[in-house]
Amino acid sequence: MDFFKSVFSDDPLLFDDLHPDAQNDDFDPNSDWEPDRNPCSNYGTGAWSFEVKKQMMSLHKHHTCHCHHSLFYKPKDLSALPFSVFSRIDELSTISDTPAPSVTRVLYTDKDVLARNLTFDVSFILFLWVMFNCRFIKNLMGLSGLSVREDAVGNIFGREGYNSDLSAVATGSHIDAIPYSGKYDGVVGVLGAIEAINVLKRSGSNLNDHWELSCSPQKSLRALESAAWEGVSIGIVTAIAAPASIKVEFEGNGGHAGAVLMPNRNDAGLAAAELVLAVERHIRIWICILELHPGAINSIPSKSHLEIVNVWSVLSEFKIINQDPPALSDKSILEAMEASSKELNLTHKFMISRAYHDSLFMARVSPMGMIFIPCYKGYSHKPEEYASIQDISNGVKVLALTLAKLSLQ
Alpha carbons 260 and 173: distance in angstroms, whole number = 53
Confidence of residue 2 (pLDDT cuts 50, 70, 90): low
The pLDDT of residue 213 is 57
**Residue 291 maps to which CATH number?**
3.30.70.360
Count of domains for the chain: 2
317-359 pLDDT, tens digit per residue, is 667 777 788 899 999 999 999 999 999 999 999 998 877 788 8
For residue 128, pLDDT beyond 60: no
Can you list the alpha helix ranges (DSSP code H) found in 60-157? 82-93, 110-117, 124-133, 137-143
Using DSSP's 3-state secondary structure scheme, residue 52 falls into strand
Least confident range from 13-17, 262-266, 273-277: namely 13-17
Name the residue range of residue 60's domain. 48-241+325-407
DSSP labels, 196-256: HHHHHHHTT---TT-EEE--SSBS-B------B-SS-SEEEEEEE---EEEEEEEE-B-EE
Alpha carbons 221 and 117: distance in angstroms, whole number = 23
Least confident range from 165-179, 184-198, 313-327, 357-371: namely 313-327
Domain end among 289, 322, 355: 322
Alpha carbons 265 and 387: distance in angstroms, whole number = 50
Confidence of residue 132 (pLDDT cuts 50, 70, 90): very low
One domain, residues 171 and 70: yes
One domain, residues 168 and 304: no
Alpha carbons 159 and 181: distance in angstroms, whole number = 30
Q: Is residue 383 part of a domain?
A: yes
One domain, residues 132 and 248: no
Write the CA distances from 227 to 42, 72, 355, 373, integer angstroms: 11, 31, 7, 8
Which amino acid type is present at position 361? F
Domain end among 322, 338, 354: 322
Alpha carbons 369 and 399: distance in angstroms, whole number = 11
The pLDDT of residue 397 is 93
Mean pLDDT over residues 75-102, rounded?
A: 82
One domain, residues 130 and 56: yes
CA angle (171, 177, 178) in 5-degree steps? 135
- CA-based Rg of the chain, rounded to a whole angstrom? 23
391-406 pLDDT, tens digit per residue, is 999 999 999 999 888 8
Domain end among 275, 294, 322: 322
Is the Cβ–Cβ distance between 358 and 47 less than 8 Å? Answer: no
**Residue 402 maps to which CATH number?**
3.40.630.10
264-276 pLDDT, tens digit per residue, is 888 999 998 988 8
Is the Cβ–Cβ distance between 132 and 152 less than 8 Å? Answer: no
Confidence of residue 79 (pLDDT cuts 50, 70, 90): low
Confidence of residue 162 (pLDDT cuts 50, 70, 90): low
- Phi/psi class of residue 260: alpha, beta or left (left: φ > 0; alpha: ψ in -120 to 50)? beta
Write the CA distances from 390 to 31, 81, 297, 394, integer angstroms: 34, 10, 50, 6
